Amino acid sequence: MLLDRIDDAPEKRRIALRIDNRGLQALLGAILREWRYQVVIDGPCELILTDEGIHPSADEGPALRLGATGPLSYPLSLEALWQALESRFHVPPRRNLRISLPLDIGVRQGSRREVCPLVSLSPLGGRFEFPREVARGEELEVVLPIGEAPLTFGARVIYAIPRGEWRDCPDYYVGVVFDRQEEKQKTLRAFIDRSYLERVRLAVDQDVFCEGEAFFRTLGEGASEG
């Protein structure tokens, strides 16, 4: 469920951008590359991402239009865009936007506490490195150092895979789903959106970023403690 699928060949994940606004085009290109899509200027592609001002010909390929009434209207939700692309490129599609982050998190297993490297995070769960095996269904506590006050979640293990399957190491990759806590998960969604936008800020010129950022929805903090 939370394993990131990276086996799709880049040539099967080609997206062409046909966007009027240069800032929006630059940010979309940077975000798509973060999501492991190949952005093409010319040549064959599986999908054209366009807006209301541009009308690709039918022989160019299928198009996904931004700005129209519906989930892809402006200001644009990153999660809605993720879901729209997932439905076209992955079976079954993943519904929740996730991000890979270099972040250490707290994990409590019974009376034992560990500081663990986070691998990926979504509003509903995550994957992290753990120094020993845990059973599927086991209950843990996860503390995420996000914002002014850390977020604490009860978490249920859905898998534990030896990292030795990828490299010679005794640790495990552990995937968990969080207990439902609406306000905290709203905070996670906002954090993931901001993290992506801050990441792509480094990939484009500042004036171009500011121009493109106006097309994206900024979620409220919705922060809650512990």
Tracing tokens 């019974």 back to the chain, one arrives at 110
Query: Do 72 and 64 contact (CB within 8 A), yes or no?
Result: yes
| 70 CA to centre of own chain | 21
**Domain(s) of CATH 2.40.10.220: residues in the chain:** 104-180
Mean per-residue pLDDT, 9-24: 84
Per-residue pLDDT, 221: 38
Model confidence at 1: pLDDT above 50: no
Whose CA is closest to 23, among 218, 219, 207, 217? 207
Tracing tokens 């512990």 back to the chain, one arrives at 226
For residue range 150-185, what is the model confidence (pLDDT) as tens digits?
999 999 999 999 877 555 566 899 999 999 999 999
Higher pLDDT, 105 or 9: 105
Alpha helices in the chain (DSSP H): 22-34, 78-89, 182-201, 206-213
Rounded to the nearest 10 degrees, the angle between the axes of helix 78-89 and helix 182-201 is 80
Least reliable range by pLDDT among 60-64, 108-112, 156-160, 218-222: 218-222
pTM score of the predicted model: 0.83
Query: Do 80 and 73 contact (CB within 8 A), yes or no?
Result: no
For the domain made up of 104-180, the CATH class stated in words is mainly beta
DSSP letter for each residue of 113-166:
EEEEEEEEEETTEEEEEESS---TT-EEEEEE--SSS-EEEEEEEEEEEEGGGT
Residues with Cβ within 8 Å of residue 166, at least 6 apart in sequence: none
When the pLDDT of each residue in the chain is averaged and rounded to a whole number, the result is 87
Whose CA is closest to 97, among 173, 14, 34? 34
Per-residue pLDDT, 70: 82
Residue range 10-89, CATH number = 3.40.50.2300
Handedness of CA 210, 213, 219, 223 (dihedral sign): negative
**Domain(s) of CATH 3.40.50.2300: residues in the chain:** 10-89
For residue range 28-81, what is the model confidence (pLDDT) as tens digits?
999 999 999 999 987 788 999 998 777 777 677 788 999 878 889 999 999 999
Whose CA is closest to 79, among 127, 31, 19? 31
The residue type at 47: L
Give CA–CA dist 23/135, Å, rounded. 47
Per-residue pLDDT, 74: 92
Token reading at 168: 């010679």
